[in-house]
């Protein structure tokens, strides 16, 4: 075998020296506080059996899509599922991608054009940032959820823009501006003020794009996401939703206008040049959505657990460690890769699957324990894990 390049070996050694070397974990039987399976759908026998029965009932016996959706892979189940998703989310259309990563890379690499501007929250997911890097548009980040800085940036980037005494713009941008953020951030679990953000977008004529990956299945009467729960779904240019969290399966969709869907089908390379999802994968998405609409008690149990977790943080004096969050993601900041790894190991040795998030995944000094809450966690499990945490950090 050819010798491994020294430059690559050096990078691996540097990661190891910084206690930041990533390794694939083995599966375990610990109490789950690490997975994104917020509603337990990934382990649902009901969804598994309903998916199988749906395929049998509709005489669908294909193991794969057989090609790109633009060639041979666009089986009928895609249209049925996209129509269901669009109706569920009160959107003109939905376009399914193979993953959330594919959706974000496909959108941001193709939609913003040369001389357009992309403004993004500094804590946006890696898939958004990777898509932006592939774009020919100019991009600028703003401090996390800091809309004062964002507005200053908007004014600075458009010297033509003037405002009257009511601070309403009298001219619009000559090029398009795409403003992107997440409704629930994957590492902090917090949320921006979406009403304020929409007001800014309307004032400065921006196209707002919201990634709802960690809001689907968590917010709304039927788990439809944060934007829709606030009645703001018609105020955005595009919503990006993923199915690997609250729905417990795989894939993603971009919600938007018919024109946007047509554009993505023609220009999003991560959509065009990949084999489509198998009929079984698409049927699982459809069954998970139907299950989401029916199982409101599961959604309520998740919300109860989030509220209880926040109460217990206060009870054990842990609140100062945690980033403020009302979502299923709760992060305790414990600076230092080695320190946070040690505490995570202690929790795991006591039966709780809590994962450390290390730099460079998060900025140095922002290393953390990331607790993911689920509808199937018991109050005793929540109390026990936080009580243990308090003994390890104090």
| 42-62 pLDDT per residue, tens | 999 999 999 999 999 999 999
Stretch 269-282: mean pLDDT: 97
- Per-residue pLDDT of 96-133, as tens digits, reads 999 999 999 999 999 999 989 999 999 999 999 999 99
How much is the pLDDT for 318? 97
Q: What is the mean pLDDT of residues 211-221?
A: 97
pTM over cut 0.85: yes
> Mean pLDDT, the chain, as a whole number?
94
Question: Is the pLDDT assigned to residue 174 strictly greater than 80?
Answer: no
Output phi, psi for 238, to 5 deg.
Answer: -155, 145
Please write the tens of the pLDDT for every residue from 127-149. Answer: 999 999 999 999 999 999 999 99
156 vs 244 pLDDT, higher one: 244
pLDDT confidence bin for 172, thresholds 50/70/90: very low
Report whether pLDDT(252) > 80: yes
| Alpha helices in the chain, H assignment, sequence order | 6-17, 45-57, 76-88, 100-110, 126-134, 147-157, 194-204, 226-229, 258-267, 269-272, 279-294, 296-315, 337-349, 379-393
In order of 124, 212, 263, 270, the CA distances from 134 in angstroms are: 15, 22, 17, 12
**293, 129 in Cβ contact below 8 A?**
no
């Amino acid at each position: 075998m050819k010798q491994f390049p020294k430059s690559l070996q050096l990078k691996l050694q540097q990661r190891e020296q910084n206690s930041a070397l990533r390794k694939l974990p083995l599966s375990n039987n610990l109490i789950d506080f690490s997975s994104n399976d917020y509603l337990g759908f990934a382990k649902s026998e009901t969804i598994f059996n309903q998916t199988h029965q749906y395929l049998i009932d509709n005489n669908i016996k294909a193991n794969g899509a057989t090609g790109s959706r633009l060639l041979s892979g666009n089986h009928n189940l895609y249209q049925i599922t996209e129509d269901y998703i669009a109706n569920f989310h009160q959107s003109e259309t939905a376009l399914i991608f193979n993953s959330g990563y594919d959706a974000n890379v496909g959108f941001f690499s193709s939609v913003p054009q040369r001389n357009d501007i992309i403004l993004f929250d500094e804590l946006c997911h890696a898939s958004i940032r990777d898509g932006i890097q592939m774009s020919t548009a100019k991009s600028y980040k703003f401090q996390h959820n800091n809309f004062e800085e964002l507005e200053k940036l908007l004014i600075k980037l458009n010297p033509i823009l003037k405002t009257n005494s009511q601070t309403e713009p009298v001219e619009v941008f000559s090029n398009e501006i795409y403003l992107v953020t997440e409704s629930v951030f994957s590492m902090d679990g917090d949320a921006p003020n979406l009403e304020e953000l929409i007001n800014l977008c309307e004032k400065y004529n921006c196209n707002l794009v919201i990634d709802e990956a960690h809001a689907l299945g968590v917010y709304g009467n039927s788990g439809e996401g944060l934007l829709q729960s606030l009645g703001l779904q018609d105020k955005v240019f595009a919503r990006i939703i993923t199915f690997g969290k609250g729905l417990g399966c795989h894939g993603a969709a971009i919600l938007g206008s018919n024109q946007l869907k047509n554009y993505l089908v023609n220009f999003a390379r991560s959509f065009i040049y990949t084999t489509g999802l198998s009929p079984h994968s698409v049927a699982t998405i459809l069954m998970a959505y139907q299950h989401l609409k029916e199982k409101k008690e599961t959604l309520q149990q998740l919300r109860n657990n989030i509220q209880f977790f926040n109460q217990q943080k206060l009870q054990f004096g842990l609140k100062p460690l945690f980033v403020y969050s009302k979502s299923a993601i709760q992060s305790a900041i414990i600076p230092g890769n080695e320190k946070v790894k040690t505490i995570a190991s202690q929790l795991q040795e006591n039966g709780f699957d809590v994962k450390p998030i290390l730099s460079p995944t998060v900025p140095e000094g922002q290393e953390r324990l990331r607790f993911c809450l689920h509808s199937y966690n018991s109050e005793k499990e929540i109390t026990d894990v936080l009580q243990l945490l308090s003994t390890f950090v104090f």
